[in-house]
Structure formats: C-alpha cells, structure tokens
Amino acid sequence: MEIIEQLGSLRDSAIERAQAARTLEELDTVRVEVLGKKGSLTAILRGLGSLSAEERPAVGKASNEVRAAIEAALAERRSLLAEAARSERIAAEAVDVTLPGRTRLPGRQHLISQIAEEVVDIFVGLGYMVAEGPEVELDHYNFTALNHPPTHPARSAADTFYVRDLSAEGAARTGPLTDVLLRTHTSPVQVRTLEKTRPPVYVICPGRVYRRDIADPSHLPQFHQIEGLAVDEGITFGDLKGTLDHVCKELFGKDRKTRFRPHFFPFTEPSAEVDVSCGICAGSGCRFCKYTGWQEILGCGMVDPNVFGYVDIDPEVHTGFAFGMGVERIAALRYDIPDLRMLVEGDMRFLRQF
Ligand code: PHE
C-alpha cells in the first residue's frame, strides 16, 4: 500500500532530522513541520478519510506507530540537547575559587615619615617635647636671631627661596622683600621655642625645609630635618655627645660608633659634625663612605650666647646644646638609597619595600 510506504519514509526522514538537530530550537522546528497542524504527518492522516473501510485499520495503526516513533525520537533528542545546554551553561557560569583575588594594596606611611616618627619617638622617650614652626618663615628667625651676619652667603637669593607677599597688607607688614622666606633649616624653631618657653627646655622639632638646590642624587630642593634643643642649667658638650651617641645606636644599631668632628655653625659654639661608622664596611673603608670608614649624619653644637641674647636667656645661668639631622640622609644611609630623588618620585615598586 502506497500510503504505508509514505508513512515509513516520513518516519525515517523525521527521525533522521530529529537526530541531526543541533539546538532545541532546531528540534522544535522539526516537530512543528512534521507533527504540527500543517505538518507532513498531519497532511497524510487527513487523506485517511478517502480510504476504504478495509484499508483504514491497518493504515490507522501504522500512522499511530509512526507518530509514536517520531515523538520518541524527538523526546530522546530533546533530553540530550537540554542536558548539553545545561552543562554548557554551568561551564560558562563556573567560578574558579582558586584564582587569586584582586588585592587592594594597603596604604602606609612614606619612609621619610616613618623615620621622622622613629626619631621623634626616641626623643620623646628621653623626655623631650615636640615643637613645630612655620615653613614660611621670617628672616629674623631663620638667620638674624641665629647669629648670621647680614652678609652670610646662605642669605643669598641663590641659596634661599624668598617669598613675596603681593597683597597690600602683606607689603605693609613685611617691609623689605627679603624678609619672608622658606625656612632653610629647622633651627628657627629653636628661637621660636625659646621666645615662648623658659628653661628647662627639651624639644624635638621635625619639619620640612627648602634650599635652592637642583635635585640630584644627594640634594633635593625640599627635604626634612629634625632639630633638637636642650637648654638647662649645667648642660655640657658631654651631654650632647652622650645623647647623640645614644640616638645613633638606636637608629643604626648598637655596633655603630660615632665621632665628633669640629665644624662651624653661626648659632652654636663650639660646633661639630657627627659621623657614624660606615654600616657597609664597619669602618674599614669602602666606596659608600668614600674610603673614610665614616658617614656624616648631622650638625650640632652648644647654643651660642648670641642666640640666647635674642631670647633673653642669661648664658651665665643656662647653657644648651642643639643639633639638626637630615631625614633623607638617615634614610639613604640606613637603606643604601643611591639617589634621594627616588624618595619623591612616587614609584611604588621602590616605596613598597619600606
Ligand atoms: N641647621 C644646621 C643645618 O641645617 C644644623 C644644625 C642644627 C647645626 C643645630 C647645629 C645645631 O645644617
């Protein structure tokens, strides 16, 4: 019977198409085209009416079997494709919990602040108070009251940044244009402190200072100093030596030695520069200490009686010592930093080490 053959080939091609479907959408197209209202099987079944009564049962049975076979093939393919789609989605959504996370770098203090704080802490431990002064300073505090003669070379505009206050009140207040400057050292805080505090005075003064230098491996136009001042009855050079020797050992290690070399500062008499034994060669001489075995770390001395004159302290009753150290210099010595500019360039690969 021709119609039975038709049903057979329809079943075969429908099953083949179902098995070839690559997506659930493609499979559904096959279902509609075969089993739907306008589908090919439906069209054949519509022709059933014209069959004779003897033919009808056999054809009816065959067509039911064909429909069932096609539906089974569709169902089988559907569950296969649904499973594949599910695994694909799971793979796409997968989270690898073993991947490293996005780390946020914690902020921290800059090396210079760390060292300044460390030095201040050493002196606070010795009973000193912290004092601060302005970075924009008057010539009086930076030079005059520190016993610099009017012609002292440090006062030249080639060495010092002078500030002009261009406002009317500013001009009226400050007089000569060289009156206001960026402080070239923290020593003016000595004068400001002695102006408002009577001895005994023990202060430590950290701060930023400015000099008209071109930045190079050993100079920055802006850097940091820590000033110390002790004024009391009976303060001697021995007290100065003992104090600074203690601080150097705290900062650089117990095995380091100090030596005091005569020097000159207008505001201390006598004055000295302090060297600490080289940490690289332990004093035997190497290129870091220029084969001297020593590295210079600070300037110091006994407060000059002329400075006491500016703040009304009687040098027959009170004596004192003062010192000033460069924080960048301490950092460079402690960590063998070859170029001070690295401290201000903000390169995290360098700064993160500290
Ligand atoms: N102010 C001096 C400098 O900047 C250092 C110093 C401070 C020297 C205190 C003696 C006493 O070089």
Question: In this predicted model, what pLDDT tens digit does every residue of 133-180 receive, in sequence order?
Answer: 999 999 999 999 999 999 999 999 899 999 876 666 766 665 556 689
How far, in Å, from the CA of 324 to the mean position of ligand 1? 4
Residue nearest to atom 5 of ligand 1 (CA): 324
**Which of 152, 185, 296 should be mutated for ligand 1, with most atoms under 8 A from CB?**
185
- 21-30: per-residue pLDDT in tens? 999 899 999 9
303 lines ligand 1 (CB under 6 A): no
Interval between CA 316 and ligand 1 midpoint (Å):
23
Listed in sequence order, the DSSP H helices in 143-290 are 168-174, 188-196, 237-252
Residue 86: its pLDDT value, please? 92
Q: Does domain 111-135+183-351 have CATH number 3.65.10.10?
A: no
pLDDT at 142: 98
Using the predicted structure, report yes or no on whether residue 62 has a pLDDT greater than 90.
no
Q: 54 or 242: which carries more pLDDT confidence?
A: 242
**Atom of ligand 1 lying closest to residue 186 CA:** 1
Task: Give the distance (Å) from ligand 1 centre to CA of residue 299.
Answer: 5
- Where, residue-wise, is CATH 1.20.58 in the chain? 2-93
Mean pLDDT of 104-119: 93
Between the CA of 81 and the centroid of ligand 1 the distance, in Å, is: 84
Alpha carbon nearest to ligand 1 atom 10, residue:
300
Q: Is the pTM of this model over 0.75?
A: no
| b (16+ CB within 10 A) / e for 168-206 | eeeeeebeeebbbbbbbbbbbbbbbbbeeeebebbbbbb
CATH number, span 2-93: 1.20.58
Domain with CATH 3.30.930.10 in the chain: 111-135+183-351
Find, among 202, 206, 190, 228, the residue nearest to 311 by Cα. Answer: 190
- 294-308 tens-digit pLDDT: 989 999 999 999 999
